[in-house]
Chain A
């Protein structure tokens, strides 16, 4: 089954404790992206990647890092999480940057 998976689905952590949210897709897609979703603000793009070793900033990249060492994986790293990063995070992939995106199930992160 073609899908985008994210782990963990739920995470509660404390300020400053480094964490990684994993994202993996099995569709051989080149384009992958991370979004955060907050009430009233909609989905905002954090980072995206055109292919292996190619990443670029979205609209809200501050406080986040990404890497793309393999085509199927695109982890999101929070080096020092803060409470304002409490949000619902989605990973997405597509066959190209202008094509429909397939979204993962989401990761709900709470930073205390």
Chain B
């Protein structure tokens, strides 16, 4: 069974204090790893898709990286508007099309 574990559960940062979120996964062959952002009371919003180890993607202050066992979401010089829950999800290269999510990391950035 596919497993996705995110750490830490919660992260409190000062504005400008860079940090990283971790997503560890166990799948029988990775087809894709997704990062989403979720604001309170809203549905998740897509950030990145990573497909193979060594791949990196950036968007504003966010950078996602992928290894064979985990992915990191780096937040550089965060601002209060980066406060959200960040979700990681994996899709295995099997015959089904399930998407397995981690429990998320809630990031709070204080001004």
Q: Which residues of A contact B (CB under 8 A)?
A: 4, 31, 33, 35, 40-45, 48, 50, 56, 58-59, 90, 92, 97-106
Q: A100-B46, A103-B44, A104-B43 are in contact. Are A40 and B100 (CB under 8 A)?
A: no
Q: Are B87 and A45 in contact (CB under 8 A)?
A: no
Q: 0/1 per residue, B6-41, Cβ < 8 Å to A? A: 100000000000000000000000011010000001
CB distance from B33 to the nearest CB of A (A): 11
Q: Could you list some 12 contacts between A and B, CB below 8 A?
A: A4-B43, A42-B4, A42-B6, A42-B103, A56-B97, A97-B97, A98-B31, A101-B44, A102-B46, A104-B43, A105-B43, A106-B41
Q: How far is the CA of A4 from the CA of B44 in the complex (A)?
A: 12
Q: 0/1 per residue, B77-94, Cβ < 8 Å to A? A: 000000000010101000
- Report if B96 contacts A (CB, 8 A): yes
* B49 neighbours in A (Cβ, 8 Å): 99-100
A interface SS class: strand
Give how many B residues have a beta carbon under 8 Å from the other chain's beta carbons: 24
Q: Are B31 and A106 in contact (CB under 8 A)?
A: no
Q: Of A33, A40, A92, A98, which is in contact with the most chain B CB atoms at under 10 Å from its CB?
A: A98
Q: How far is the CA of A54 from the CA of B91 in the complex (A)?
A: 19
Q: Which residues of B contact A (CB under 8 A)?
A: 4, 6, 31-32, 34, 41-46, 49, 87, 89, 91, 96-104
Q: How far is the CA of A59 from the CA of B103 in the complex (A)?
A: 15
Q: A90-B43, A103-B45, A106-B43 are in contact. Are A42 and B102 (CB under 8 A)?
A: yes
Q: A40-B103, A100-B34, A100-B49 are in contact. Are A45 and B98 (CB under 8 A)?
A: yes
* A106 neighbours in B (Cβ, 8 Å): 41-43
Closest to B41 in A: A106
Q: A42-B102, A43-B101, A59-B98 are in contact. Are A98 and B91 (CB under 8 A)?
A: yes
Q: Are B96 and A56 in contact (CB under 8 A)?
A: yes
CB distance from B45 to the nearest CB of A (A): 7
